[in-house]
Chain A
Amino acid sequence: MADWYTNFANSGVGTTLTKQLGLPRPGVLRRYEPGDPLLEGPAVVGSAGQGRLRDTVTAVLKDAGVTVLSPVVADGDATGEKLGAVILDATGVAGPADLAAAHDFLAPAIKRLRANGRVVILTDPPAGADSPAQAAARQAVDGLTRSIGKELRDGSTANALYVPEGAESGVAGPLAFFLSGRSAYVDGQGVTLAAADVPATQDAEKPLAGKVAVVTGAARGIGASIADVMARDGAHVVAVDIPAAGDSLAAVANRIGGTALQLDITAPDAAQRLVEHLRERHGGVDVVVHNAGITRDKLLVNMDAARWNSVMAVNLQAQLDITQALLDSDVLNPGARVVCVSSQSGIAGNRGQTNYAASKAGVIGMVRAWAPAFAERGATINAVAPGFIVTEMTAKMPFGTREVGARLNSLQQGGLPVDVAETIAWLSQPTSAGVNGQTVRVCGQSLLGA
């Protein structure tokens, strides 16, 4: 599903025209392929205040074979080697005054950022600050990151990582995600870590090797893409979809060497059947992706009960029921990962989607509420909220609506199903143990709900 405008804007004539007319110039995003390096160029690491994460960050970069350069000084050589990433450790900020160092470090460095570069800022969560001044400085990172995201061009992104005391061991996985091509369409986001038992390493090429992953709604669209990426990363995928979609479901399962399970997740015995299937066939499950979802759009005043109820049943109640059944069963393996698909509509709301937006907002509340119980088992539950993702569904939208919808974000293009899938696969990794109860938007820093 090629984005014709992105292709045009990056063609010879298109480049000239879009520049002269001041039209959006979406970059061709760097998307992960197995074997890709973490970054396409060297990285610089800087600090604001007496940060505690520089060594951790440097180690992640060096382990991945990235060259780490000394910080670029403000009046330094702006024409030097282009940078793949600019990383700021702002865990030491005590007050707004310390942020001047952030500016001093970031401004000249970002000037040298190459296309599809990465900016990552790490700080502590504002909530745990010792003083209002410290909370203010930490919160300032949020506005700083988001604004950098909006200033960057050519597929570059800026994201923040909030690292409380004791959660340092969880930095490597999320940092590598933000730097890699897996996070191509994740921009302007913040992820807050929690202290957890995080494995020091994982198989770089097959981080999900040996895992059993359930993906609902896997017959097509984003679900099929999730199944693809999970299988690529080494998981055995149990692809679930309604019986009526069984033929495309079988095709997905056969493509990735997984298995197909035809199941209506809203059936009264669905959760039990899934649990029994996982016990009988696989002895347990490591990853559950609640992706199945439906839309039944109508303005609230015109919406009948059937539309409301069916959307709630599939998008929210089934996720609750199945997750609860898994928690009550003996099939949820230690270190399990549950990833729930929410939506930008659940954050921003959307005209004609009261039912859908309510269900998707509910998912965000659900993962937040369940996170402590999952943490007790060494497991995690998180959500992803896709923005404008180019699918068969959006292909049917009117041209104008679609084109405007696709451009209303910092990357000036719609995302692809694989972008959502990569984020879900990352949350499913062993080294994502410190990410729990979070909702990660995959929206290219959409203007909606931001």
Chain B
Amino acid sequence: MADTSTPATRTAAIVGGNRIPFARSNTAYAQASNQDMLTATLDGLVARFGLQGEQVGEVVAGAVLKHARDFNLTRESVLGSTLAASTPAYDIQQACGTGLEAAILVANKIALGQIESGIAGGVDTTSDAPLAVGDDLRRVLISLNSAKTLGDRLKALSRIRPGQLVPDMPRNAEPRTGLAMGDHAAITAKEWEIGREEQDELAVRSHQNMAAAYDRGFFDDLVTPYLGLTRDNNLRPDSSVEKLAKLKPVFGKGEGATMTAANSTPLTDGASAVLLASDEWAAAKGLPVLAHLVDAQTAAVDYVHGGEGLLMAPAYAVPVMLARNGLTLQDFDFYEIHEAFASTVLSTMKAWEDPAFCKEKLGLDAPLGSIDRSKLNVNGSSLAAGHPFAATGGRIVASLAKMLHEAGPGKRGLISVCAAGGQGVVAILES
């Protein structure tokens, strides 16, 4: 059911990507800032595609955890890179959807002919996290700053209390519920009756798939080492269901708790970038076209009052996008469903198979059905690589584009990324 009223536009080509290996929080990149990592990632991309001194149309990237000084993070990273200083850039932020959303924004400008090339990226560090002073202290400091006389200043200073000196730590929790994302996911897992074993199996497969992909050189032109790290240091090639079964649950409560440190993604540092362009720009530069970004969709759910799971928005976004493109859920050669938690992937797939959910929540006559698990996250995903929030989208887009290119022309891939705030970002790539 393709919408024939859509004006004929070109679709943006994905030329390639680059990322630094992802590092568990407070390990290899403990001393690296978001700007350091994003700059290194851009430079690796420049080296791969010979873009030194080149002005690309736009660089769009973002970080979820950001220092106040990083208000112009992407532009500052561009200025520190070997790209032309005349390359414009802007920051975006859509939680874990940031990286994919950046690619969509760049692709749309290319499709509209506003730019011929662009770089989409994302970076996050939970090691070099921004600490803020508490609101009480912040107000004191602001009035101190605006005080005009010595007396006013002393008065302002006298309001400082020891308790105010404890900084505000950024937390991986939803502001409106106070629950950690994992606790939200645990509620959803329970609702959908996702078992411990199937989560562990998904996690193990992610590690094994990614280790095998590294071994056969799949990441040779997708990853550039950084600060002594040559592979993601969360990757456990020897992971097994037996080993994972020994871990105690960390999210959810009581008997039925199933979510462990192994079937949930750890806090991670890293950055990624994807080079997009018009076919003409790529051809003129002698650069490959791995795939095209065909369409994209976002959705959001009311997880606060609406009774929907925090990370279930992609389940809503995908059918909208499928309908617009006249496709079924089975019309794909690869599925990249971001493994925020193993249970999120399983809940999403179970929802698509469930007639009641598809009818009542999605308004569909029939369920979307199941997907061929052998086509799911075939080179591993976030459970293996780790998940530096804004960098995950770029990792997935570049990897999927390469997979589609290797599989030959006319292949199709689906990307699904859940995000904090009850949001989801999904996209279709085609070779």
Contact = CB atoms under 8 A, between A and B. Distances in A.
Nearest to A244: B230
Scoring A246, A257, A280, A281 by chain B CB atoms within 10 A of each residue's CB, the highest score goes to A246
B286 A282 contact: yes
Contacts of B44: 246-247, 250, 260
A245 interface: yes
Contacts of A246: 44, 223-225, 230
Contacts of B217: 243, 263-264, 267, 269, 273
Contacts of A253: 47, 50, 52
A6 interface: no
B220 A249 contact: no
Given A244-B230, A247-B224, A262-B220, A283 B48 contact: no
B316 interface: no
Contact of A259 (B48, B82, B230): B48
Nearest to B48: A260
Contact of B286 (A251, A257, A269, A281): A281
Contacts of A254: 43, 46-47, 52, 82
Contacts of B226: 247
Nearest to A267: B217
B53 A245 contact: no
A259 B49 contact: yes
Contacts of A250: 43-44, 46-48, 224
A258 interface: yes
B303 interface: no
Contacts of A273: 217
Interface string B32-51: 00000000100110111110
A243 B220 contact: yes
B219 interface: yes
Nearest to A276: B288
Contacts of A247: 40, 44, 224-226
Contacts of B43: 250-251, 254
Contacts of A283: 286
Given A243-B217, A246-B44, A281-B288, A257 B223 contact: no
Nearest to B46: A254
Contact of A243 (B46, B50, B225, B288): B225
Interface in A296-340: none
A275 to B, nearest CB: 15
A250 B82 CA distance: 11
Nearest to A247: B225
A285 to B, nearest CB: 13
A411 B206 CA distance: 59
A251 B224 CA distance: 11
B221 interface: yes
B287 interface: yes
Nearest to A277: B221
Given A254-B82, A267-B217, A243 B223 contact: yes
B14 to A, nearest CB: 15
B50 A259 contact: yes
Given A247-B40, A250-B43, A263-B220, A258 B225 contact: no
Contacts of A262: 220-221, 224
A236 B47 CA distance: 12
B410 to A, nearest CB: 19
Interface string A108-151: 00000000000000000000000000000000000000000000
A281 B226 CA distance: 25
B288 A260 contact: no
A258 B50 contact: yes
B395 to A, nearest CB: 16
Given A244-B230, A247-B226, A280-B288, A257 B53 contact: yes
Nearest to A270: B217
B122 to A, nearest CB: 19
Contacts of A263: 217, 220
Interface in A213-263: 236, 243-247, 249-251, 253-254, 257-263
Contacts of A267: 217
Contacts of B220: 243, 262-264
Nearest to B287: A281
A395 B301 CA distance: 62
A249 B286 contact: no
Interface string A83-116: 0000000000000000000000000000000000
A267 B47 CA distance: 22
A249 B287 CA distance: 19
Contact of A249 (B40, B47, B50, B53): B47
A267 B214 CA distance: 12
Contacts of A244: 225, 230
Contacts of B48: 250, 259-261
A257 B221 contact: no
A236 B221 CA distance: 19
Interface string B180-224: 000000000000000000000000000000000000010111011
Nearest to B224: A246
Nearest to B53: A257
A260 B43 CA distance: 11
Interface string B216-254: 010111011110001000000000000000000000000
Nearest to A257: B52
Interface in B259-294: 286-288
B261 to A, nearest CB: 28
A93 to B, nearest CB: 52
A223 to B, nearest CB: 15
Closest 9 CB pairs of A and B: A250-B47, A260-B47, A253-B47, A259-B50, A246-B224, A244-B230, A254-B82, A247-B225, A262-B220
24 contacts: A244-B225, A244-B230, A246-B223, A246-B224, A246-B225, A247-B40, A247-B44, A247-B225, A249-B47, A250-B43, A250-B48, A251-B47, A253-B50, A254-B47, A257-B53, A259-B47, A260-B44, A260-B47, A261-B48, A262-B221, A262-B224, A263-B217, A267-B217, A283-B286
Given A243-B217, A247-B44, A261-B221, 16 more contacts: A243-B225, A246-B44, A246-B230, A247-B225, A247-B226, A250-B48, A253-B50, A253-B52, A254-B43, A260-B47, A262-B221, A262-B224, A264-B217, A267-B217, A273-B217, A280-B288
Interface of B: 40, 43-44, 46-50, 52-53, 82, 217, 219-221, 223-226, 230, 286-288
